[in-house]
């Protein structure tokens, strides 16, 4: 059974940093591109970033370029999202998802709240 | 304002059929596969349709997908009250080099 478990969310001040992690099991992690998708409270889904299976290519939504960085460690079956200089509008549930363009499995999400 | 356009809400009676549209442009739907997701309140989204019209093995054949030009459609037949959820279309936008979603459609089964 594929499982994706996010962690690292919490309350952070504007301008602060946070690192989200996603632990994958039940799949050959290195065979798949991976993505982060977020959902602000009461809002729709927003794709944030993806990374190819070998980490060679990464793409970001414009609103996080230069502030967020996606990475992975295939030896640890883990995906990461480094969030720097966060803003109030980054407040959302962040989901880790299997796939770079279509998302076959999703984690349960981790809530990031940006507030002073 | 989402890149892909979906109706905010649709409704139909139990047992009936409903369709949900998703409109885009050549840089996204026109030249990339479309996926559809179902989301119940407080839970993670679930993949219903991938590559325009393919269903994961666990998804019943009451759910179907199609694409024509720069639009895609999700169809649900034999509606059940348990189908009440939010539905999202998604694809890749080759001009933006980014993933894009529709704004979501809330399905009500009356």
> What is the full per-residue pLDDT of chain A (116 aa) written as tens digits?
999 999 999 999 999 999 999 999 999 999 999 999 999 999 999 999 999 999 999 999 999 999 999 999 999 999 999 999 999 999 999 999 999 999 999 999 999 999 99
pLDDT exceeds cutoff 90 at B1: no
Give the C-alpha separation, A49 to A84, whole Å: 14
Q: Which residue, A10, A11, A5, is CA-closest to A96?
A: A5
Which helix (H) or strand (E) is A96 found in, with range? strand A92-98
Give the nearest partner residue to A46 out of B91, B96, B101, using CB atoms.
Answer: B101
Q: pLDDT, tens digit, for every residue of A47-68?
A: 999 999 999 999 999 999 999 9
Residue B62, classed as helix, strand or coil, is: coil
A102 touches chain B (CB under 8 A): yes
Between residues 26 and 55 of chain A, which touch chain B (CB distance below 8 Å)? Answer: 35, 37, 44-47, 50
Residues in B touching A40 (Cβ below 8 Å): none
Q: What is the pLDDT of residue B64?
A: 98
Residues in A touching B39 (Cβ below 8 Å): 45
Q: pLDDT, tens digit, for every residue of B53-106?
A: 999 999 999 999 999 999 999 999 999 999 999 999 999 999 999 999 999 999
């Amino acid at each position: 059974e594929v499982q994706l478990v996010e962690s690292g969310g919490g309350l952070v001040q504007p301008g602060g940093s946070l690192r989200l992690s996603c632990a994958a099991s039940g799949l050959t992690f290195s065979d798949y591109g991976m993505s982060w998708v977020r959902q602000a409270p009461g809002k729709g889904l927003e794709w944030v970033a993806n990374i190819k299976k070998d980490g060679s290519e990464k793409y970001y939504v414009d609103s996080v370029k230069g502030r967020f960085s996606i990475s992975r460690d295939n030896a640890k079956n883990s995906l990461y999202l480094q969030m720097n200089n966060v803003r109030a509008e980054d407040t959302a549930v962040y989901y880790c998802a299997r796939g770079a363009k279509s998302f076959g499995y999703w984690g349960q999400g981790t809530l990031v709240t940006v507030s002073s | 304002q989402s890149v892909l356009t979906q109706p905010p809400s649709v409704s139909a009676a139990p047992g009936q059929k409903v369709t949900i549209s998703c409109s885009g442009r050549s840089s996204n739907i026109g030249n990339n596969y479309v996926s559809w997701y179902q989301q119940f309140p407080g839970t993670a989204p679930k993949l219903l349709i991938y590559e325009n019209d393919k269903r994961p093995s666990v998804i019943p054949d009451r759910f179907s997908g199609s694409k024509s030009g720069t639009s895609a459609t999700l169809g649900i037949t034999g509606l059940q009250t348990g189908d009440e959820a939010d539905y999202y279309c998604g694809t890749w936008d080759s001009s933006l080099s980014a993933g894009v979603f529709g704004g979501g459609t809330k399905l009500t089964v009356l």
